[in-house]
Chains A and B, each alone.
Chain A
């Protein structure tokens, strides 16, 4: 407002802003700045979140390996000399451990690396405790290796690995009961001689989980497979059921109390906290129906129930977007109501339905709370077999594996949990990208 209507006490220039106008302008600028600041905070939070998780996790994909030539002595590994797998399976990891130890000591001696400050056990513990089992698996898979000298890649123990990644320092090692600075000096010398190197580690993606004492050997194999099984179940069940429900509600149902009830139900289910679905699964699927705990089938069923509302809402939007003229034209040339829907409306709505389905699957993939309740937090080291039997066997899922790793005391597992998050986010990003591409390519404006 201007003061033009007031009695002019002193003539003022219109070109000079008075105090009140200046204050109002300043308030305007401040308000604008608040808005910019809010957006900036939001975006900064996003950047901070992603960089902190990604920065922590990148190292999980690289691992430190100890590379030594090992002679697979027939006298130790296959006493009968028949290469009979059953007889060879009787040789335990202890014997393999001894072989590796001899090989390691011999190699250190030839390279002239001084290990006098260390006990034999300390030299051996530069390597992962998983190494003998690895070697045994390798030999049992290919018995012809026996008698040869192979280059054996063993994981370095997580502390040595941490040292080469900067997580462990000499100072922290002196306080650590699992490693001594002297061991790190030897590790450094081995790296100088090319016996230790840090490189890309595929086994992070393919190996199963490992026990608390062997973080270096832990991988995401079972988790990825379990998640894939669950997504398969979710897709197979929720897509047909969701589409059928939407078709009925959108195209067929009379408007009455019953259909209202169903609609209100679906709206409410979309807002029920995920943990409540977990309780439902525990009470219904596990306690009442007696399905096994930690099985992908139970996880798949509960995620299906959770995903249904999302898919139904998306499908109904897609069906609504198909213009009525299509239905009218089909009815006009003599199609039945059912034929007009299944032959014309549904195919045209398919891109929208698929987009919604992929987004629903992406949500389900990241969901962890209900899976905790159905026992998916159990430690699973064996891969489930192929479906359908595998659906009943224990498995774990990507987000739950992350949770599980964060609950362990060894700090090396935090790095792996962040690495698992990267894998999870990559899957989600891919699914969302596919959904966006589908929408862009097939979206039709009527």
Chain B
């Protein structure tokens, strides 16, 4: 039975539970709702919640844990010789998983049952058929691996059946429990409200769980990276040269330099333009001009970064190359730090301008009035009174923009190039932390090699960087707000 059908059955049962529960409550008091503790529908709700929620939670938990259990069972059945011959348990398991997925695909396309799949055999014909459904199965011809893949399918199918039965039983049990509990004196409303409160609390814990998940996955995988690759090399080396055959040099610094260089150029574009635009809009512009220009600038913030990436790739890159880099003899590459930086700067203009705009507006009018009263012109007031007063907030805004710039991916993937080097020439292609995360993790990669795992260490670095910037920015902005409240 498919998951979708199972969920539909549970929901259907819950729906019936609602109607039957309400009916039963009413019939217990011969239709006289005043003799019930709660409104009749609350009795229905109690049955619905007890039927659906535990069963659905069990489904989710089971689906979450099933692959681990299957992997554990299958791993125990693989002969030791196969594991050593194929270079480690992780690699074998990846192969097994891939082949069993391929077998699933074949079975679905050709309508085969389990026996027919087992009879497919391990010869080259199977390899071709797996290839035909888009599965590259290098190890498919190894009988031990093929058997393990069959065992994988069998265990999965068995556990799936067990799950279906367990979920249906749990739904039925919940239904009976809640249904038989109904009596006129049952405090159904309080019961339902407690239940809903627990649901609300568990939903709000998802945010915490996400953070925990991010940190746990980054730390765990970085840990396994540092076990096979020396941390001192990673943090101190200035060479980035991954080789998928082994013997890579994975130094962090070229990537960090590229990231910082691109971000600096982006800020050099975004901060002056954004800040001056914010000053003009909040101090000089008429309300009408403000009402038209502000949303227009904010469109820039709503455009997805892939659009900026394409803009960098097909428009800005060639222009910078033909008009600046080539005449000045600085390089002939259309993807460069400059391209990515300028385009990212355009993207960041609205972040800087709308944050600074808020902050400038928060400077009390009395300060401006005092300055005007002493005879200062408007620009003198802005430069000598408003900006110094708003400075902490503006610094916060710039830090937030910087954290955006560091974490931005698509623009640098499409605009900055892929060569990791330490150079000062802004028209040269360089690369950033985010570009390397993408390039190390896309494509068919072995999951246990340092070349892949390094992406997690890079991710951790990136996460810490942006988190520090954000926290600093928030602290500064909050301090500043308190100053004028």
Q: Which residues of A contact B (CB under 8 A)?
A: 1-2, 24-25, 27-28, 30-32, 34-39, 41-43, 45-46, 48-49, 52-53, 56, 240-241, 244-245, 247-249, 252-253, 261-262, 265-269, 271-280, 282-284, 287-290, 292, 305, 308-309, 312, 336-338, 362-363, 365-369, 372-373, 375, 377, 387-389, 399, 402-403, 406, 414, 417-418, 421, 424-425, 428, 432
Contacts and interface: CB of A to CB of B under 8 A. Distances in A.
B57 interface: no
A373 B455 CA distance: 11
B392 interface: no
A49 B308 contact: yes
Contacts, number: 270
A45 B400 CA distance: 22
Given A24-B377, A45-B346, A372 B311 contact: no
Given A39-B277, A248-B201, A273-B462, A421 B310 contact: yes
A369 B434 contact: yes
B379 A406 contact: no
Nearest to A436: B295
B466 interface: yes
Contact of B310 (A278, A372, A406): A406
Contacts of B300: 42, 45-46, 49
A320 B128 CA distance: 61
A338 B297 CA distance: 42
B307 interface: yes
Interface residues of B, number: 99
Interface in B218-233: 218, 220-221
Contacts of A368: 304-306, 409-410
A36 B272 CA distance: 12
A337 B193 CA distance: 9
B280 A39 contact: yes
B132 interface: no
Contact of A275 (B208, B304, B314, B438): B438
Q: B307, B406, B438 — which one has the most chain A CB atoms within 10 A of its CB? A: B307
A367 B400 CA distance: 19
B326 interface: no
B272 A38 contact: yes
B4 A389 contact: yes
Contacts of A2: 375
Given A24-B380, A35-B277, A39-B277, 4 more contacts: A27-B379, A38-B275, A288-B68, A373-B442
B111 interface: no
Nearest to A403: B306
Contacts of A272: 214, 407, 463, 466-467
Given A31-B382, A372-B438, A338 B466 contact: no
Contacts of A269: 207, 210-211
Interface of B: 2-4, 7, 63-64, 66-68, 70-71, 97, 101, 189, 193, 196-197, 199-201, 203-208, 210-211, 213-214, 217-218, 220-221, 272-277, 279-281, 284, 293, 296-297, 299-300, 302-311, 313-315, 346, 349-350, 353, 374-375, 377-380, 382-383, 400, 403, 406-410, 413-414, 434, 437-438, 441-442, 447, 455-456, 459, 462-463, 466-467, 470-471, 474
A38 B462 contact: no
Contact of B459 (A49, A52, A276): A276
B46 to A, nearest CB: 14
B406 A273 contact: yes
Given A247-B200, A273-B434, A388 B3 contact: yes
A202 to B, nearest CB: 23
B211 A403 contact: no
Contacts of B349: 42, 45
Given A35-B280, A275-B437, A43 B296 contact: yes
Given A245-B204, A275-B409, A49 B346 contact: yes
Contacts of A377: 442
A283 B224 CA distance: 13
Contacts of A375: 442
16 contacts: A28-B380, A34-B280, A39-B280, A42-B277, A46-B297, A240-B203, A245-B200, A273-B463, A275-B437, A276-B407, A279-B218, A282-B441, A284-B213, A388-B2, A425-B307, A428-B302
Contacts of A414: 314
Given A273-B408, A366-B304, A39 B281 contact: yes
B434 A261 contact: no
Contact of A35 (B4, B220, B279, B410): B279
Given A28-B379, A32-B280, A276-B459, A248 B203 contact: yes
B190 to A, nearest CB: 8
A424 to B, nearest CB: 7
A38 B64 contact: no
A424 B307 CA distance: 9
A277 B437 CA distance: 12
A245 B207 contact: yes
